[in-house]
Amino acid sequence: MTVTFRRNIARMEGYVPGEQPQEPGYVKLNTNENPYPPSPEVRKAILSEAGERLRLYPDPGATALRRQAALTYGFDLSRIIAGNGSDDLLAMVAKAFIGEKDAIACAMPTYTLYDTLVRIQGGKFIGVPYPADYSLPKALAARKARVTVVASPNSPSGTAVPRGVLAALADAVPGILVIDEAYADFADDTALSLARERENVVVLRTFSKSFSLAGMRIGLGFAHPGIIEGLNKVKDSYNMNRLSIAAGTAALADIGWMEKNAARIRKTRQALAEALPSVGFAPFPSQSNFILARRARGGSARPAYEALKRRKILVRYFDTPRLAECLRITVGTDRETAALIDAMKGIR
């Protein structure tokens, strides 16, 4: 092939999303989707938007969704931006802040898209290992990166960093701190208020997990108006389509529906954490809608992943040194959890 890509694009691997089987019949516990349906209000809102109006471009500012978010979370409209999933918001951060000489620093292991985005920009990725207990590594601020990203709760560990620790990190970093709160609705604590209290903090939320809307692609970013202004310069003009704006607005207006589902998931999470040791896996404490569990006797978890897949149960396996002994298991319904534990008993 004679086409030449930018050097960093030619060199990098593309991001590999989790498996999304297109045939039915799987118990799908691999990409942290919600096992319960979204609010019925979402369906109504989509149907009412899905007619004649589709011939018109959507509102480039997704104002209806942002207004509802302002109301729900108590933020000024100027501090909110909407994204086509939080991945879109992460890409905006990378575009706006990372050039060839700039770095993103993260505690590792974490969501691998951060690494991919910085490589697309031709910047530098700095990974600082989490200690065994997944407390925030002290060295993170010392790396003096332009952008520091902490997922809290973190994926794949499921562990969270206390708000006070994140506040101290925001004060210690020289650049901006992105707190990716994709799983915050399943946690005991949130650092959302830091987006109001600190000028260098961006907090990201997604509708893909707690709001059961992974298929719609909706995310929100909260930050100082100066940061939001910069992100708006790099965002696709019409990054939110009409149906996502309508769906997100309706989902937020009926937030009690989401909270009920999140409470059910937390309850099932407890049951799953209690059952895992009986099938030879030790769970890490989880604040999210998934559990990272490690083979109690050591050794690769790949055979367990593959045996479950043969039984049409999909979980996530990462073939990296730190995670090779682990499975990351999404918390499904009570029934799905029972099916998983049954299958794990069968393959031991």
Ligand X SMILES: Cc1ncc(COP(=O)(O)O)c(C=O)c1O
Give residues in contact with ligand X (CB under 6 A). 32, 85-87, 111, 151, 155, 180, 182, 206, 208, 214, 219
3-state helix, strand, coil in the chain (%, to 5): 40, 15, 45
Residue closer to ligand X, measured from CB, 87 or 115: 87
**Nearer Cβ to ligand X (85/332):** 85
Instruction: Name the residue whose CB lies closest to ligand X.
Output: 85
Q: Which residue type occupies 97?
A: F
Shorter beta-carbon distance to ligand X: residue 109 or 137: 109
CA-based end-to-end distance of the chain:
48
The answer to whether 62 and 51 have CB atoms below 8 angstroms apart is: no
Distances in Å between the Cα of 170 and the Cα atoms of 78, 149, 199 are 21, 10, 9
Min dist. Cβ of residue 157 to ligand X (A): 11
Q: Tell me the closest approach of the beta carbon of residue 127 to ligand X, in angstroms.
A: 15
Q: Tokens for 126? A: 């700095």
Query: Shortest CA distance to 342 belongs to which of 292, 275, 294?
Result: 275
Q: How far apart are CA 31 and CA 288, in angstroms?
A: 12
Least CB distance to ligand X at residue 200 (A): 20
On whether the CB atoms of residues 125 and 104 are closer than 8 A, the answer is yes
Which residues on neighbouring strands pair with residue 329, listed in sequence order? 291
Closest distance to ligand X from the beta carbon of 180 (Å): 5
Query: What minimum distance in Å lies between the beta carbon of 111 and ligand X?
Result: 4
**Minimum CB–partner distance for residue 326 and ligand X (Å):** 16
**Cα–Cα dist 142/172, whole Å:** 8
Nearer to ligand X, 210 or 337 (CB): 210
Among the residues of 193-293, which ranges form H helices? 194-197, 225-234, 242-253, 255-275
Q: Give burial (CB, 10 Å; 0-12/13-18/19+) of 67.
A: middle
Residue type, 301: A
- Compute the least distance from the CB of residue 88 to ligand X, in Å: 7
Instruction: Work out how close the CB of 209 gets to ligand X at its nearest, in angstroms, rounded to a whole number.
Output: 7
Cα separation, 257 vs 301, in Å, equals 36
Q: Which is nearer to ligand X, 137 or 343 (CB)?
A: 137
Please answer whether residues 243 and 219 qualify as being in contact, where contact means their C-beta atoms are separated by less than 8 angstroms: no
Nearer to ligand X, 86 or 239 (CB): 86
Q: Toward ligand X, which CB reaches closer, 87 or 185?
A: 87
Token pair 């050591």 is found at 298
Please state, in angstroms and rounded to a whole number, the distance separating the CA atoms of residues 76 and 223. 10
Amino acid at 283: P
Minimum distance from residue 299 beta carbon to ligand X (Å): 26
Say how far apart CA 93 and CA 96 lie, in whole Å.
5
Of 89 and 98, CB closest to ligand X: 89
